[in-house]
Structure 1
Amino acid sequence: MASFTSRLLANKVFKKKIKDIIQVGVGGAMVFVGLNMYFKNEKFYDSWVMPLFHCLDPETAHKLAVKAAKYKLVPECKLKESKLLECRVLNLLFKTPLGLAAGFDKNGEAVEGLFKMGFSFVEVGSVTPLPQPGNPKPRVFRMIDDQGVINRYGFNSDGHEVVLERLSKLPPPGSRKAILGVNLGKNKTSEDYVYDYSAGVQKFGPVADYLVVNISSPNTPGLRNLQHKKELTRLIEAIVNARDSLPGVHKPPILLKIAPDLSEDDKQDIATVVLKKGKQIDGLIVSNTTITRPSSLRSTNRDEVGGLSGEPLKSLATQTVRDMYCLTQGSVPIIGVGGVTSGRDAYEKIRAGASLVQIYTSLIYHGPPVVQRITDEMEELLRSTSPWLAPRVPSSVRHDGFITVGEAVGVDCRI
């Protein structure tokens, strides 16, 4: 009996030790993960966090990322104040030139969490007047070998009313931590595009710091035809009238988001309409995704239908920024988008004519730490007068020594 009791006690002690070891191991692992995520260790994100997300199908991973931002389960990026990066564009003060492009937070669910991540401005949408499901699934495809993404979401949206209710709970324009843009789309089956966009301006004008008219998504049939001169002239006149008729003193600037796949004539027509005196928009977003497929693509998903973003879009988007800056003679502020993964990428778009820059696909591959890294690298490149920076800075942009980021906008077009 005594021997049995001894064995029982020994067994209990053994089980307790195993339990303690497991608890210590799990606790240690959680602390390790927590510290790496809190301190925004980008290598940890690249090696562990993002590969885990990539085990999920892209749309599921996207939804989880939005939920994490919604509940602020994201690392906080405490950017140091920098007069070098601070810029006033569209009569708005931006802490840095770096923002989040539309397409991530389509329905305005996670704005404050995204502000927490360190973006100077966040653009939600595209939002359509009526709710619509978008295109059939699957409709998002990673291209890991190319650091790109193909999507054909097709303006899946909760609709004006639901998104407006969410955004109305945020502090009003001028009192937020960062700038909020609302990207507007049209319903797939709508036959009155002027009504759809004008309704969006009227709905979101009071809550947005700026508005974007998206006429360049390749995933809504006929949408890109609105970039033609006749249709565009009619649309701009209507949306500017809608904005100017908003009650009160808050009249948000309106930007036009265009495609990178435009012909030279199309670009000239857009520049002509944009510069037309009277009913004018306030800026351009260059660019949306591309329907072209570079021959260098290696991923098996390269032939999927939809818009291509990320690294494969970078050169085309930057060239389109440069073209539109030159055609508008630098008189229209441009937000540059497409393939920005580093401070160097962002700086190239700024030198090409972008006053501000947005990212999206790089967030998919590198996670929240990419915001801090790109911001820091931009500042280094703008200073770029210290010899120790030389190995990290391309010779073409070395020793610029700009006092403000605004001084660098469009310098490549003035050479």
Structure 2
Amino acid sequence: MTTGTTTGPGSARPTGGPVFDRIVRPALFRLGGGDAETAHEWTLRRLAALSRRPAALAVLRARYAVPAPRTVFGVDFPNPVGLAAGMDKDGAALPAWPALGFGFVEVGTVTAHAQPGNPRPRLFRLPGSAAVINRMGFNNAGAAALAARLAALNRPLGVPLGISLGKSKVTELDDAVQDYLTSYRVLNPYGDYFAVNVSSPNTPGLRALQDREHLDGLLAALVGEKPILVKIAPDLTEAAIAEVLEVCLSRGAAGIIATNTTLGRDGLAPADQPRAGEAGGLSGRPLTERTRRVVSFVHTETGGALPVIGVGGILDPTDATALLDAGASLVQLYTGFVYGGPGLVRAVARATRQ
């Protein structure tokens, strides 16, 4: 797919080109005895080191960056393919992502209080299904630490920066608005847009913030200076999504991110069934069609009044164009990047120009 061939919706695994498929991905998947989080941490360290080498970044940019500009909720994007939240929670490797072809980067999810997240192991690959299960639990160094890192960047990122905000685990649900506000205030100078994550399945009680009363209070406090988007769960009914959209429209939210990971386990390959019992959110190929349906519903229900970032199950360019055709203005990659690497970013960006 990244060399001109696409696998098409329903296929298992993306291809990142011969070198990535035969050498890079197998080597990464062997790290830590196959532990996915070990590979994730190793990759982030290497990308952070790469971020300090402008000449190397320029070489990567020449290979992977594809111009396909568009403007959404008042922000200019060099191409519509973004890095989803969760890949670089603390912004450790920010300059590397645009060099790998991403047209925008979303860091986080970050919380007001630093927190270690859930016990390891908490990240699992399901390669037969081109999927991942995670129960990370918003592990991050906290909003103040991220703000300090962003303040210390010595050159412009070159692409829009989104910041995903979540509720600290130690914060009671009734105090959630203040918790989000604490993070928002310290990070406000640095984000081009902010995502309100009320849909992760890995923080107890968090999804209750998608309810009308809680979400209304949250958006009333946050909407104003910078674009605020709401990230929703794929497991909501259409009636529940419609209620979320009513609140977003009435409170002036800038858009919707559809979707987060799912608690469902449909669509797993037989070889991956032993992993189905792992707690956490499922992402990747099993989410492809559900994401498309949710994006289409949001676009139709709002008459296009709320821009949508489509994320979930993009494993090849066809998946991305299906989301754009369904009404998405932008797309994001996470699991697809795990399996397809930067070649997938380039291929998707090229497909959006057609």
> Normalized against structure 1, the TM-score is what?
0.76
- 2:346 corresponds to: 372
Cα shift at 1:81: 6.3
- 1:201 and 2:179 aligned: no
> Residue 65 of structure 2 contacts residue 346 of structure 2 at CA under 8 Å; is this kept in 1?
no
- 1:326 corresponds to: 300
Runs of 5+ consecutive residues of structure 1 not aligned to the other structure: 1-39, 245-250, 383-415
Match of 2:160 among 171, 179, 200: 179
Cα shift at 1:171: 5.9
SS state at 1:118 partner? coil
- 1:102 corresponds to: 85
Map 1:4-153; keep pairs closer than 5 Å: 42-56=17-31, 57-72=35-50, 76-78=60-62, 82=67, 85-153=68-136
> Residue 342 of structure 1 contacts residue 377 of structure 1 at CA under 8 Å; is this kept in 2?
no
> Residue 114 of structure 2 contacts residue 142 of structure 2 at CA under 8 Å; is this kept in 1?
yes
Corresponding letter in the other structure for 1:111: L
Corresponding letter in the other structure for 1:297: A
Cα shift at 1:295: 4.8
Offset from partner CA, 1:267-309 (integer Å, 9 cap, x none)? 1101111111xx3111110000000110543203122110000
Q: Partners in 1 of 2:192 and 2:302 — Cα distance?
A: 23
> Residue 16 of structure 2 contacts residue 339 of structure 2 at CA under 8 Å; is this kept in 1?
no
Offset from partner CA, 1:174-207 (integer Å, 9 cap, x none)? x531111111111112011101111122111111
Corresponding letter in the other structure for 2:28: F
Q: Partners in 2 of 1:69 and 1:317 — Cα distance?
A: 29
Q: Partners in 1 of 2:16 and 2:207 — Cα distance?
A: 40
- 1:252 and 2:236 aligned: no
Q: Partners in 2 of 1:179 and 1:346 — Cα distance?
A: 20
Q: Partners in 2 of 1:80 and 1:190 — Cα distance?
A: 40
SS state at 1:194 partner? helix
Runs of 5+ consecutive residues of structure 2 not aligned to the other structure: 1-14, 52-56
CA 1:41–1:201 in 2, change beyond 3 Å: closer, same or farther?
Answer: closer
**Structure 1 runs of 4+ with >4 Å offset:** 79-82
Offset from partner CA, 1:8-62 (integer Å, 9 cap, x none)? xxxxxxxxxxxxxxxxxxxxxxxxxxxxxxxx97211111111111112100000
Q: Partners in 2 of 1:81 and 1:345 — Cα distance?
A: 18
> Residue 66 of structure 2 contacts residue 101 of structure 2 at CA under 8 Å; is this kept in 1?
no
Q: Partners in 1 of 2:41 and 2:22 — Cα distance?
A: 21
Q: Partners in 1 of 2:168 and 2:87 — Cα distance?
A: 19
Cα shift at 1:345: 0.8
**Larger radius of gyration between Structure 1 and Structure 2:** 1
Q: Partners in 2 of 1:377 and 1:81 — Cα distance?
A: 10
- 1:356 and 2:330 aligned: yes
Aligned residue pairs: how many? 326
Cα shift at 1:226: 0.6
SS state at 2:275 partner? coil
> Residue 143 of structure 1 contacts residue 302 of structure 1 at CA under 8 Å; is this kept in 2?
no
Q: Partners in 2 of 1:316 and 1:303 — Cα distance?
A: 21
- 1:346 and 2:340 aligned: no
Offset from partner CA, 1:117-141 (integer Å, 9 cap, x none)? 1100000000011110000111001
> Residue 65 of structure 2 contacts residue 99 of structure 2 at CA under 8 Å; is this kept in 1?
no
- 1:315 and 2:298 aligned: no
CA 1:126–1:296 in 2, change beyond 3 Å: closer, same or farther?
Answer: closer
- 2:170 corresponds to: 189
> Residue 219 of structure 1 contacts residue 306 of structure 1 at CA under 8 Å; is this kept in 2?
yes
- 1:5 corresponds to: none
Corresponding letter in the other structure for 1:361: T
Q: Which has the higher relative contact order, 1 or 2, with Cα contacts under 8 A spaced 6 or more apart?
A: 2
> Residue 340 of structure 1 contacts residue 362 of structure 1 at CA under 8 Å; is this kept in 2?
yes
